[in-house]
Amino acid sequence: MRIVGNNDGACATRVDPALVETYLAESRELTLAEIRNIIPRDGRYRSILYDLMLEYPLRNAKALRPALCIATCRALGGPLEAVLRSAATLELYHNAFLIHDDVEDGSESRRDRPTLHWTHGMPIAVNVGDAMLALALQPLLDNMRLIGMGKALRILQAIARMARESAEGQALELHWIHTNEWDLTDTDYLRMVYKKTSWYTFMTPVLLGGIVAGASAEHLGALRQFAALLGIAFQIQDDILNLTAEGGEYGKEFAGDLWEGKHTLILMHAVRSASGTERERAMAILRKPRPSRSKRGHRVSPAPLSSRLLRSLERCGDLSAAGRQAIEAALAPARGAGTKSATDIRFLIALIDRYDSLDYARAVSRRFARRAEGILHRATWLASSVHGEFLHALVAFVVQRNR
């Protein structure tokens, strides 16, 4: 199988979905087997702790990070056995953060099944996430025996850097949401995404693969730049999918980013392009929180409660217009007055349509993907193998994917 260049201006390589999907699936199997080795499988704590760590990794995940790590190592001539432990550790970290993200967002489902805190309660979910972060340290220490002290220490340093960069990116994004800051440029967005997505999802996996393979500083620099650019393209495509994905493949809530008031390149472009009046309305909408979702153990659904009350009082012959008003007013806070409404979200979507902000974001995403591809094409030192081909095909996959 050969990935060939063509003249498509959007992306110079045609994606071979079969190659990307097969490579992802194969790396995922290898990674899961390694994760099973890392997680203790016997004794008293298996069913109450260690089995729960496997829940998310075993669901329908792409496992992109370990695949990137394995492909880079092997494209540089490094052996699979040497890199598997580091690749599995990345997947452990990622799934731990997913558990915490779900708690933060009060999400009900993850990868088409209930979230961990939904089935086991928040305290158990937070503890499983913390335990996975802790457990991920051990294989990185055991790496010393596997790949030697020097490489193992550089990997630990890379993980520490990744954690710091992504925490800073996350802090920036949360600060913008918290203060409803929209007076931002594309450069601000790119800095945030470089930290939050590129370091976490692309740069660290590629660096780990390179370190294990013993890549030179020059080659690591090129790989790092490739991953930084591709990470940005990936995040913008993620933002696009949130507003365009059809059916169940994507697996996240449609327009969830708008409900959350997230700073996507798309919405930032629409807000920047809007007229004074439009901008004012958009600001007022984005200032409002999303209506709170019910949590396990605290299921209070204000709307049905109110209708039930009204019906009961009507049956009792008890309800004057004034009485009805009193109930409506009393229930207003619980009903989520002052939170974003579906009308609000439709207004933001119309704004995005009016100013072609999706097309704008697509163009930026593809520009970054092309730059990533350029670096890869100049990296003639990468072995011509299925692993190098996967990296090439991934560039097109990132901006054309629907999941």
The closest of 122, 231, 219, 109 to 166, measured between CA atoms, is 231
Comparing CB distances to its own copies, the nearer of 97 and 250 is 97
Give the contact letters, 214-233, x = binds to its own copies (CB under 8 A), - = no: --------------------
- Which residues in 270-378 belong to E strands, given as ranges? none
Taking the alpha carbons of 20, 21, 24, 29 in that order, is the dihedral positive or negative? negative
CA distance 233 to 243: 16
The encoded tokens of residue 221 equal 């620099």
Q: Does 320 bind its own copies (CB under 8 A)?
A: yes
Closest distance to its own copies from the beta carbon of 153 (Å): 7
Comparing CB distances to its own copies, the nearer of 334 and 386 is 334
Q: Does 80 bind its own copies (CB under 8 A)?
A: no
95, 98, 219, 291 from 109: Cα distances, Å: 14, 11, 40, 17
Among 54, 124, 245, 386, binds its own copies (CB under 8 A): 124
CA distance 80 to 24: 15
Q: Does 108 bind its own copies (CB under 8 A)?
A: no
Q: Does 383 bind its own copies (CB under 8 A)?
A: no
Q: Does 318 bind its own copies (CB under 8 A)?
A: yes
Among 2, 112, 246, 299, binds its own copies (CB under 8 A): 299
Comparing CB distances to its own copies, the nearer of 112 and 183 is 183
Q: Map tokens 């690591």 to a residue.
A: 220
Comparing CB distances to its own copies, the nearer of 128 and 274 is 128
- Residues 15-44 close enough to bind its own copies by CB under 8 A: 44
Stretch that binds its own copies, among 30-38, 316-324, 364-372, 382-390 (CB under 8 A): 316-324
53, 72, 325 from 241: Cα distances, Å: 28, 27, 42
CA distance 79 to 322: 77
- Residues 327-346 close enough to bind its own copies by CB under 8 A: 327, 329-331, 333-334
Comparing CB distances to its own copies, the nearer of 141 and 284 is 141
The closest of 6, 1, 33 to 17, measured between CA atoms, is 1
Q: Identify the bridge partners of residue 114 per DSSP, sorted by sequence position.
A: 109
Q: Does 105 bind its own copies (CB under 8 A)?
A: yes
Closest distance to its own copies from the beta carbon of 317 (Å): 8
Question: How many residues sit in the footprint of its own copies (CB under 8 A)?
Answer: 70
- Residues 149-178 close enough to bind its own copies by CB under 8 A: 149, 153, 156-157, 159-160, 163-164, 167-168, 170-172, 174-175, 177-178
- Between helices 386-400 and 17-38, what is the axis angle to 10°? 110
- Residues 178-207 close enough to bind its own copies by CB under 8 A: 178
Task: Quote the radius of gyration of the chain (alpha carbons, Å).
Answer: 24
Stretch that binds its own copies, among 75-83, 134-142, 210-218, 263-271 (CB under 8 A): 134-142
DSSP state of 113: E
Contact yes or no for 83/74 (Cβ under 8 A): yes
The closest of 403, 395, 402 to 10, measured between CA atoms, is 395
The encoded tokens of residue 209 equal 């693969």
Closest distance to its own copies from the beta carbon of 53 (Å): 10
Contact yes or no for 166/102 (Cβ under 8 A): no
CA distance 250 to 4: 27
CA distance 19 to 389: 8
Which three-class secondary structure state does DSSP give residue 298?
strand
Comparing CB distances to its own copies, the nearer of 2 and 315 is 315
Stretch that binds its own copies, among 209-217, 251-259, 293-301, 349-357 (CB under 8 A): 293-301
Comparing CB distances to its own copies, the nearer of 33 and 167 is 167
Q: Given the rule CB under 8 A, which residues bind its own copies?
A: 44-45, 48-49, 97, 100, 103-105, 120-124, 126-128, 130-131, 133-135, 137-138, 141, 144, 149, 153, 156-157, 159-160, 163-164, 167-168, 170-172, 174-175, 177-178, 289, 292, 297-300, 302, 305, 308-309, 312-313, 315-320, 322-323, 326-327, 329-331, 333-334
